[in-house]
Amino acid sequence: MSFFLEKETEVDFDFDYETLAKEVVEFSLEHELFPYAAEVNLTLTDNAGIHAINKEYRQIDRPTDVLSFPMLSYEAPGDFSFLSDENEDDFNPDTGEVMLGDIIISVDKVKEQATEYGHSEKREFAFLITHSMLHLFGYDHMEPDEAAVMEEHQRKILDALGITR
């Protein structure tokens, strides 16, 4: 697995966020039985940075907590059967890894929401990565039945990692 972390803002969490991020990404891949080595990019920014991206790509004029930019198109969430070595567009030609996509997290929102929800910044950070990884696997939460499935996967991953509220 290739995991790339870019910091566009000061990150002053009281935990090893780089190690945690990699651990959550790796465990999400294992938990969802992703069949190939993968490449995931994580960018940590502030509210102003994520606001600009949210406005540009989603036409939503406000900051958000996390944005996910999947590189794959799924027929069904978590169904990786469409992937094959023959579909070169899904694989990085230099590494042979599947390019899953990009995750962008607002460090400001991690702090705000941890306080708002009454849990640690570590838990909020891990939750947002898990949530975004599931988006990279094709899950969504626009409809109640989709949300229920996605929330169950999030809960199982975080519980297995021992990261609870």
**Placement of tokens 């990279």 in the chain:** 136
Q: Angle CA(35)–CA(162)–CA(115) in degrees, nearest 5?
A: 115
- What integer pLDDT is reported at residue 35 of this predicted model? 95
Residue environment code for 137-156, b if the CB has 16+ CB neighbours within 10 A, otherwise e: bbbebeeeeeeebbeebbee
Across-strand partners of 102?
41, 69
Per-residue pLDDT tens over the stretch 13-53 = 999 999 999 999 999 999 999 999 999 999 999 999 999 99
Average pLDDT rounded to a whole number, residues 81-93: 85
Say what the pLDDT of residue 84 is.
83
Three-state secondary-structure class, residue 146? helix
Q: Band of the pLDDT at 108, cuts 50, 70, 90? A: very high
Angstrom distance (rounded) from CA 39 to CA 16: 21
pTM here? Answer: 0.96
Percent of the chain with pLDDT over 70: 100
Question: In this predicted structure, what is the pLDDT of residue 23?
Answer: 98
| Number of CB atoms found within 10 A of residue 58's CB | 10
For 109-118, what is each residue's pLDDT tens digit?
999 999 999 9
